[in-house]
Chain A
Amino acid sequence: DTAVSQTPKYLVTQMGNDKSIKCEQNLGHDTMYWYKQDSKKFLKIMFSYNNKELIINETVPNRFSPKSPDKAHLNLHINSLELGDSAVYFCASSLGRGGETQYFGPGTRLLVL
């Protein structure tokens, strides 16, 4: 019974391609997040959605576009991938509107060649 799941787990692609990562949570939580963890292991928030409404949109290139079809799903689409996009992308969810305990998915390791 995976609480927060992400697909794919690994993604290797060429510069310039477009790719999507999907996230689903079965915890009944209202808020979902996307984080990026770079090679220095620093975990940085990118976006958060509460009940399909965008509430955090950090300074992220507009090549990154989140989409939340319902409160249990949050997808991340990346256009025109660049070398610097290589990182681990984590999805997370929390019960309230943010600032409380978050539960993470297993991560998607993206490598752009």
Chain B
Amino acid sequence: RKEVEQDPGPFNVPEGATVAFNCTYSNSASQSFFWYRQDCRKEPKLLMSVYSSGNEDGRFTAQLNRASQYISLLIRDSKLSDSATYLCVVNLDTGRRALTFGSGTRLQVQP
């Protein structure tokens, strides 16, 4: 089992749609969780941290389910500019003091 696993997609959705991505992680003691966004030929950029109680930032909502060891990202009212690869990132707390990146889920929003 991969340490951080995501559906690679692509998710092709029309503008205005709601889309959700899930990500599972292997270590129940994992400490911190993030969603990053990576545009084509660009560096990853922090989209949002994921808090235990769930959190929202505009059209984006992140949830954490510790019992099932997954995090989710919900994007409402998709825009063309949301097209990117979304990376699930976890501090697995294996003593390594590093973040582990999922391989990413590609989203393509179509007009």
Contact = CB atoms under 8 A, between A and B. Distances in A.
Interface of A: 33, 40-45, 48, 55-56, 90, 97-107
Interface of B: 31-32, 34, 38, 42-46, 49, 85, 87, 91, 93, 96-99, 101, 103-104
Given A99-B31, A99-B93, A104 B44 contact: yes
A65 B28 CA distance: 34
A104 B98 contact: no
Contact of A106 (B43, B101, B103): B43
Contacts of B99: 45, 98-99, 102
Interface centre among B46, B101, B104 (most CB of A within 10 A): B101
A43 B102 CA distance: 8
5 contacts: A90-B44, A99-B31, A99-B97, A103-B46, A106-B42
B85 A56 contact: no
